Every structure is written in C-alpha cells, then in structure tokens.
C-alpha cells in the first residue's frame, strides 16, 4: 500500500487535473461572488433610481400645492399619493415590493428645515443566487434620496404658454443679448427654439418642455429643459378702478406738434386711441385706454414718459373680450420708463388678462427708442422687432408667447435704481 502511494506521488501524469480539481471550489466561489456583486449593484442602482424619481415626484406635488402623501400600498396607489404612484410606475426591481418611508421635511440630512424638501427611503431583501446558499437570511439593500426646489436663474422673458406649442422663438437675423434668462411654460418638445441666423445670448434658457440644441444659442448658454413652470410674476397686479363715464377722447396731436402732459398724476382714462402724430409727453400717471389702443406708426411720432404705465382694458371686457385693444408700435419712437414704486412698479404696458387669447401684438423698436420696464400681455402672441439703436435698459417681457425677429438688437442692462428687474426662477433638483 505504501509503495503504491509512493509510485503515485512520483508519477507526474494527471497533475494538472488534480490541481484543477483542488482549485475548483475557489474558481466557483469567485465566479459566484462576482455574479452576486453584479446583481447586487444592479438592484442597488435600480433602487436608487426609484428613490430619486419618487423624491422628485413628491416635490412636484408640493410645487402644485398637492399633498405628498405616504408610500403605503404602492400597487394600488393613484395620483393622490404621488410618491407611491411614481414608485408604481418606475420601480424596476422585479418580484419584490420595497419597504418605503417618506418624510417632508426630511428628518435627517441638511434639509430638515426646508418645508419643500422630500426624502424617500427604500429597502428590499432579496436572496442572491450564490451567497444565498450560505446566508441564513437575504441581505438588505437600501437607498435614499432627497429632492427640493432650488433657484434656477434670473429671467427677464417669461412665456406663459402652457400648451404643446413653441413659447419662445428667435428667428431671422435677430441679435438678442438679455443679460439674463428666458423661460416658457410650454410643454412642447420645441418649447424654445433659435433658428435662421439669430444669435441669442441669454442664460439660462428654460422650459417645461424640451429645448432643441442649436448653434444659435450663445456660447455658455445653460439649457434647462423639463423644468418647473414659472409663475406669472404680475398675477396679483390689478386693473385700476376707473369710471368709464369719465373717459375722454384722446387729444389730437398733429405732425410736428408737442403735447406736454408731464403734470399728469393718478389714473387718467381715454376712450379713443392714443395716436400721436407728433410728440406726446406723459406724466407720472397710470393711463387707462378703455376699449382703445395705442398707435405709434408715424415716422415723426414719439411717446415719452418717465415712470408711467399704459393699461389696455375695457368696461365691457366681461362680455366682450375683443373690446380690449392693444399697442401697435411700427414707425415712431417709444421712450418709456416704468414706475419705480407703487402698484405698477416695473410695468410699462399692461393688457387686461380678459383679452382675447392669442391676440397679436408687435413692437418695433426704432432708433432713439428707450424701454425700461416690462411689457405685460399675458394672453398675447407678442413679437419684438428692433435694431441696434434701442436703449433697452432693464427690458422684461411677460406674455403668452414671444418671438424675436427681423433685425432685433437688444442689450439689456438694469440701472441700479430701476423699478424693474429680472424674475427669480426655480427648478426641482436632487440635493442628497
């Protein structure tokens, strides 16, 4: 027997097979652990992705003035529980429902004092194919995510369009340098576009929908598609009280004449169009055009005002929205500075919110024009066409849709004492 073992020991035939057999448990163990590691990582990533999406869904609910809810009964959840419903739609770990907890505000982390922050914590127990043979219980995989609303930038152009059509359009040879951003609430995949030979320097460019990449967006422009809708910054600004019976006809201003109303104060109402053929100097007043528009089309005409607001409304607007008129500036010089204080602070022109939807307004800024303040036409399709001769200090545009076209040239710089200014934007972001 001993001699047989000695002969076997000295025999080199079959050594490789013996070594391979001895190493087989190690090879199988390494392969099994590698497979488990890959599977663990996949489940972890799927769980983290679900937590991220659910946390953002919770913050979107807060932004829409809805309750966050809990995440119980994921399989039977509806929109009433936005976090649970998001998990129902986006959770991808097959075969097991996660344990879920929602806190608003979070109970841990750096956003415990933020009422708009939502933290979602998920965990699952799922047996791994190899190590599960040796472990008495399945390991627990966890993931947590916190989302909240953060600043997204400063905007001086806001498109309030909420449907799936383009809200911001820069076309032709327009050259726009805003010194701030633009945002549209359009849900279209082409919510904001720049085409033709336009050059748009404005950052960020944001939209609830999509923003196609373009060489016409200036260098360094930050695009923020699929962001939070921007609130109307002037939604609480009222139409002034006035007595329609007190409205007078607008005085006739002939070519070459100068009408000086710089002493005007308070609320002044006209029932016929503000249509100067010469020079009109307005005072620090609120001018109500009751069922009347503004026409500035004569090459020699000019409207000048320092801290005034022109409001387009109608005493019959409730029953006849078409009675609300609009401005038409195409040929004259518009020299306007919005009020620096008061109810209409920062607003140059304001069209009643009851106006006909998609009514068309065009402003052609000509040489010598000065615009400091906001055009507020919340129901209008607004077109701006200007040239390099415009002094556009602190220009804001808040309309339903806006288009920059022709040879527009805007360079927007706000004076330190201006009544206007850029509007703060917000977006939802994962923060922890």
Domain extents in the chain? 17-138, 152-430
For residue 294, give both structure tokens: 């503004």
For residue 239, give both structure tokens: 């139409």
Distance CA 359, CA 353 (A): 11
For residue 100, give both structure tokens: 């879920």
What element of type H or E holds 369? none
Distances (CA, A) of 160 to 164, 311, 421: 12, 19, 18
Nearest to 237 by CA among 172, 292, 169, 309: 309
pLDDT the model gives residue 251: 92
Residues 6+ apart with CB under 8 A from 128: 36, 39, 40, 135, 138, 139
Nearest to 206 by CA among 22, 11, 422, 43: 422
User: In terms of DSSP bridges, do strands 175-177 and 423-430 run parallel, antiparallel, or are they unpaired?
Assistant: unpaired
Distance CA 67, CA 85 (A): 13
User: In terms of DSSP bridges, do strands 140-159 and 118-125 run parallel, antiparallel, or are they unpaired?
Assistant: antiparallel
User: In terms of DSSP bridges, do strands 359-365 and 99-103 run parallel, antiparallel, or are they unpaired?
Assistant: unpaired
Helix (H, G, I), strand (E, B) or coil at 215: coil
Distance CA 249, CA 274 (A): 9
User: How does pLDDT run along the chain (432 residues), one tens digit per residue?
Assistant: 666 656 655 656 555 555 555 555 655 555 655 676 777 778 888 889 999 999 999 999 998 889 998 888 888 888 889 999 998 888 877 667 888 999 999 999 999 999 999 999 999 887 766 565 666 677 788 999 999 999 888 898 999 999 999 999 988 777 787 778 899 999 999 999 998 888 888 889 999 999 998 888 888 889 999 998 999 999 999 999 999 999 999 998 888 889 999 999 999 999 999 999 899 999 999 999 999 999 988 888 899 999 999 999 999 999 999 999 999 988 788 899 999 999 999 999 999 999 999 999 988 877 778 888 999 999 999 998 866 557 777 788 999 999 988 766 666 667 666 767 778 888 899 999
Nearest to 384 by CA among 198, 218, 208: 198
Nearest to 105 by CA among 154, 146, 71: 146
């Amino acid at each position: 027997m001993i001699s047989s073992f000695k002969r076997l020991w000295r025999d080199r035939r079959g050594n490789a097979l013996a070594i391979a057999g001895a190493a087989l448990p190690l090879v199988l163990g390494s392969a099994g652990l590698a497979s488990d590691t890959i599977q663990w990582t996949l489940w972890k990533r799927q769980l983290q992705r679900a937590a991220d999406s659910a946390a953002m869904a919770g913050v979107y609910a807060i932004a829409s003035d809805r309750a966050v809810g809990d995440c119980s009964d994921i399989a039977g959840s509806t929109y009433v529980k936005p976090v649970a419903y998001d998990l129902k739609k986006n959770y991808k770990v097959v075969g097991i429902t996660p344990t879920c907890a929602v806190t608003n505000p979070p109970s841990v982390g750096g956003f415990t004092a933020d009422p708009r922050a939502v933290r979602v914590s998920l965990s699952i127990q799922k047996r791994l194919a190899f190590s599960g043979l040796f472990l008495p219980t399945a390991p627990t995989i966890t993931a947590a995510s916190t989302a909240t609303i953060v600043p997204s930038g400063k905007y001086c152009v806001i498109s309030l369009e909420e449907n799936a059509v383009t809200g911001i359009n820069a076309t032709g040879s327009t050259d726009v340098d805003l010194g701030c951003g633009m945002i549209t609430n359009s849900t279209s995949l082409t919510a904001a576009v720049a085409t033709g030979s336009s050059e748009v320097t404005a950052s960020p460019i944001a939209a609830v929908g999509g923003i196609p990449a373009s060489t016409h967006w200036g260098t360094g422009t930050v695009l923020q598609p699929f962001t939070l809708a921007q609130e109307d910054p002037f939604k609480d600004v009222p139409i002034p009280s006035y007595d329609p019976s007190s409205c007078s006809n607008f005085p006739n201003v002939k070519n070459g004449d100068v009408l000086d109303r710089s002493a005007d104060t308070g609320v002044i109402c006209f029932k016929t169009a503000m249509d100067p053929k010469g020079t009109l100097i307005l005072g620090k007043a609120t001018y109500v055009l009751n069922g009347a528009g503004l026409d500035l089309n004569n090459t020699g005409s000019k409207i000048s005002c320092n801290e005034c607001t022109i409001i387009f409304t109608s005493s019959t607007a409730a029953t006849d929205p078409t009675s609300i008129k609009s401005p038409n500036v195409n040929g004259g010089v518009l020299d306007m500075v919005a009020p620096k204080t008061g109810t209409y602070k920062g607003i140059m022109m304001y069209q009643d919110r009851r106006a006909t939807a998609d009514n068309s307004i065009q402003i052609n800024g000509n040489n010598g024009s000065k615009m400091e303040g906001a055009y507020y036409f919340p129901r209008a399709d607004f077109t701006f066409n200007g040239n390099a001769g415009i002094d556009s200090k602190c220009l804001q545009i808040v309309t339903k849709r806006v288009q920059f076209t022709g040879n527009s040239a805007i360079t927007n710089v706000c004076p330190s004492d201006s009544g206007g200014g850029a509007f703060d934007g917000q977006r939802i972001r994962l923060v922890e």
